[in-house]
């Protein structure tokens, strides 16, 4: 072989290697390029963690945590009240037992940071599942980024370490699975397990069953003329079978079929509506709630008037149903916002992407997320303090924890007392007290509609832990049978003098 032939062969080999290297670099560069919308999407999720890391625990989370700890310690589902002195031993259907056990196990295993995981983590997952759904609906990346911000703002309204947050994630997962099933029916197989988990976590599984019921309805109804039409009908047999199996899956819980009736009874209770703020109509004096409820509706009306693009009937009906539910009870607002986003994903003002993917998008998104979650924050699992009405009376509660005798305290603070092992008069398990008269008695005492000492005598109350400058605390200050023994922040502790 000549020298020229060797040189040509070597040059060819070098050129081939360079070509392979350049191809590999282009492949890596392509794989690392992300649309800049990812910066907004990851930023919205990080903002949820930022919000959760700057508020302490309060309210219902404490009885959920205490119930979960009890079940872990006793290796059994809790079935009767062990936390109050008014209805002790009364039957309690712990419908959210799955969440409570999971929360207690996570905190016991991985630490107090688990409170952030079950709250901000679940809501972030709901946003990401929504992103996948909106992209499948054809929304451009920039519009998806805007919808992720809207979804995150709506989810903040329900952001807390309560079973509602995992239910937002499960609702978003159901919408995504149905969207995938319109492309490949086999995705329906994932819905019964999802409903099984949902039924053991939160009573809103009835919403999930309702969505499946609508899908069965769309599969048998004739095609609707006009711009509102079902995006793609699911075959009647698979969706009907999925709905039937999903209903059966919800019966797989410690309470059986009774759970469905219980969840419906609680959701339609007038006692909850009259006593609990989140079960009441939204306060439209707040611009944020007004924006979240009315803003998307106005956008939808405008889109129907200006654009010729069709809208998915299944999404619009779910959104309208949740709008009606939200006008009845503000607790449905986060579900409504997720439903609005599904509708608006097809009412997009952006048809073409004007910004190209960049290799810088992911590093910038990571840096933004790090900036939002880094820095000073409240210690994980710490009680809320310095946050107005959400404050927990830490010092005052620690004081009464060391005393003997029954304690009468506020509905909001009693969950924290349960966590400390102090028996309570009433607490956030509102449904437990239905039909007992305890709820109305509590309201009458707190508003002085009855003689407080008459009630305290009946229940042998020795200590009252109450808000400063309230009607009841002012009354006790003037009652010779009571003495103020501690004042800390917004909390005051009164001791009964003598015996009843």
Note the pLDDT tens digit of each residue in 100-119.
Answer: 999 999 999 999 999 999 99
Q: Are residues 107 and 213 in the same domain?
A: yes
The whole domain housing 331 covers: 37-344
The C-alpha angle with vertex 486 and arms to 482 and 487, in degrees rounded to 5, equals 115
**Does 17 score more than 90 pLDDT?**
no
Given 315, 344, 373, which residue is the final one in a domain? 344
Q: What is the pLDDT of residues 213-223, one digit of tens each?
A: 999 999 998 87
Q: What is the pLDDT of residues 455-488, one digit of tens each?
A: 999 999 999 999 999 999 999 999 999 999 999 9
In a domain, 387, yes or no: no
**Collapsed DSSP state (helix, strand, coil) of residue 465:** strand
Q: Are residues 11 and 73 in the same domain?
A: no
**Collapsed DSSP state (helix, strand, coil) of residue 280:** coil
Q: Are residues 8 and 119 in the same domain?
A: no
> What pLDDT was estimated at residue 390?
79
Q: Are residues 193 and 277 in the same domain?
A: yes
In a domain, 383, yes or no: no
For the chain, the residue count is 500
In a domain, 377, yes or no: no
Q: Are residues 260 and 403 in the same domain?
A: no
pLDDT, mean of residues 109-134:
97
Is pTM beyond 0.85 here?
yes
Calculate the dihedral angle through the C-alpha atoms of 405, 409, 411, 417, rounding to the nearest 10 degrees.
-60
Q: Tell me how far CA of residue 492 lies from CA of 59, 444, 488, 489, in angstroms.
A: 18, 20, 6, 8
Question: What percent of the chain has pLDDT above 90?
Answer: 72
Q: Are residues 109 and 213 in the same domain?
A: yes
Place of tokens 């073409």: 352
Of residues 271 and 402, more confidence is placed in: 402
Under 8 Å between Cβ of 185 and 234: yes
Counting runs of H as helices and runs of E as strands, what totals does the chain give? 22, 6
Q: How many CA atoms lie within 13 A of 486 on its CB side?
A: 19
Q: Are residues 333 and 207 in the same domain?
A: yes
> What pLDDT was estimated at residue 295?
85
In a domain, 358, yes or no: no
Given 344, 360, 378, which residue is the final one in a domain? 344
Backbone phi, psi, residue 408, to 5°: -110, 120
Cβ-Cβ contacts under 8 Å for 144 (sequence gap 6 or more) = 37, 41, 131, 134, 135, 345
Of residues 18 and 91, more confidence is placed in: 91
Q: Are residues 174 and 313 in the same domain?
A: yes
In a domain, 378, yes or no: no
> What pLDDT was estimated at residue 23?
45
**Does 75 score more than 70 pLDDT?**
yes
The C-alpha angle with vertex 172 and arms to 360 and 379, in degrees rounded to 5, equals 70
Of residues 26 and 54, more confidence is placed in: 54
Domain count of the chain? 3
Nearest Cα residue to 332 out of 214, 243, 203: 203
In a domain, 374, yes or no: no
Q: Are residues 172 and 237 in the same domain?
A: yes
Q: Tell me how far CA of residue 414 lies from CA of 22, 59, 85, 89, 209, in angstroms.
A: 66, 8, 12, 18, 34
Confidence of residue 299 (pLDDT cuts 50, 70, 90): confident
Specify the range with the lowest mean pLDDT, choosing from 36-40, 67-71, 220-224, 235-239.
220-224
Q: Are residues 411 and 328 in the same domain?
A: no
**Does 4 score more than 70 pLDDT?**
no
> What pLDDT was estimated at residue 276?
78
Q: Are residues 133 and 21 in the same domain?
A: no
Q: Are residues 304 and 260 in the same domain?
A: yes
In a domain, 368, yes or no: no
Backbone phi, psi, residue 385, to 5°: -145, 145
Q: How far apart are CA 235 and CA 486, in angstroms?
A: 67
Q: How far apart are CA 247 and CA 478, in angstroms?
A: 57
- Which pair of structure tokens corresponds to residue 453? 């000492």
């Amino acid at each position: 072989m000549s020298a020229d032939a060797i040189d040509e062969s070597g040059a060819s080999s070098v050129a081939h290697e360079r070509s392979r290297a350049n191809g590999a670099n282009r492949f890596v560069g392509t794989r690392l390029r992300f649309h800049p919308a990812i910066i907004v999407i990851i930023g919205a999720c990080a903002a949820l963690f930022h919000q959760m890391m700057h508020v302490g625990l309060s309210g219902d989370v404490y009885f959920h945590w205490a119930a979960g700890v009890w079940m872990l310690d006793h290796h059994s589902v809790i079935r009767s009240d062990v936390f109050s002195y008014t209805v002790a031993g009364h039957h309690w259907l712990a419908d959210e037992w799955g969440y409570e056990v999971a929360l207690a196990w996570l905190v016991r295993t991985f630490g107090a940071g688990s409170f952030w995981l079950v709250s901000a983590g679940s809501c972030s997952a709901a946003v990401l599942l929504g992103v996948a759904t909106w992209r499948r609906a054809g929304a451009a990346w920039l519009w998806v980024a805007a919808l992720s911000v809207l979804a995150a703002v709506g989810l903040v309204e329900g952001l807390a370490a309560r079973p509602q947050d995992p239910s937002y994630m499960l609702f978003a997962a159901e919408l995504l699975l149905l969207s995938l099933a319109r492309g490949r029916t086999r995705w329906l197989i994932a819905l019964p397990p999802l409903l099984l988990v949902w039924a053991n976590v939160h009573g809103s599984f009835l919403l999930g069953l309702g969505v499946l019921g609508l899908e069965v309805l769309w599969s048998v109804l004739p095609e609707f003329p006009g711009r509102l039409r079902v995006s793609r009908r699911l075959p009647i047999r698979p969706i009907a079978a999925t709905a039937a199996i999903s209903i059966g899956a919800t019966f797989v819980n410690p309470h059986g079929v009774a759970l469905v009736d219980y969840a419906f009874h609680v959701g339609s209770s007038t006692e909850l509506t009259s006593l609990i703020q989140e079960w009441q109509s939204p306060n439209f004096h707040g611009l944020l709630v007004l924006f979240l409820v009315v803003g998307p509706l106005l956008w939808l009306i405008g889109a129907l008037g200006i654009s010729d693009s069709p809208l998915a009937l299944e999404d619009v009906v779910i959104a309208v149903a949740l709008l009606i539910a939200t006008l009845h009870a503000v607790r449905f607002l986060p579900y409504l916002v997720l439903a609005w986003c599904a509708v608006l994903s097809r009412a997009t003002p952006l048809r073409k992407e004007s910004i190209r993917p960049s290799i810088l998008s992911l590093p910038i998104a990571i840096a933004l997320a790090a900036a939002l979650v880094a820095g000073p924050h409240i210690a994980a699992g710490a009680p809320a303090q310095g946050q107005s009405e959400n404050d927990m009376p830490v010092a005052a509660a620690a004081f009464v924890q060391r005393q003997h005798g029954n304690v009468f305290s506020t509905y909001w603070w009693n969950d924290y007392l349960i966590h400390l092992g102090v028996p309570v008069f009433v607490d956030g398990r509102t449904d437990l007290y239905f039909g007992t008269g305890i709820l109305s008695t509590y309201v009458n005492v707190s508003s002085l509609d009855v003689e407080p000492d008459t009630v305290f005598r009946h229940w042998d109350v020795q200590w009252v832990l109450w808000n400063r400058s309230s009607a009841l605390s002012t009354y006790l200050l003037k009652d010779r049978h009571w003495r103020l023994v501690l004042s800390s922040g917004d909390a005051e502790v009164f001791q009964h003098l003598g015996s009843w």
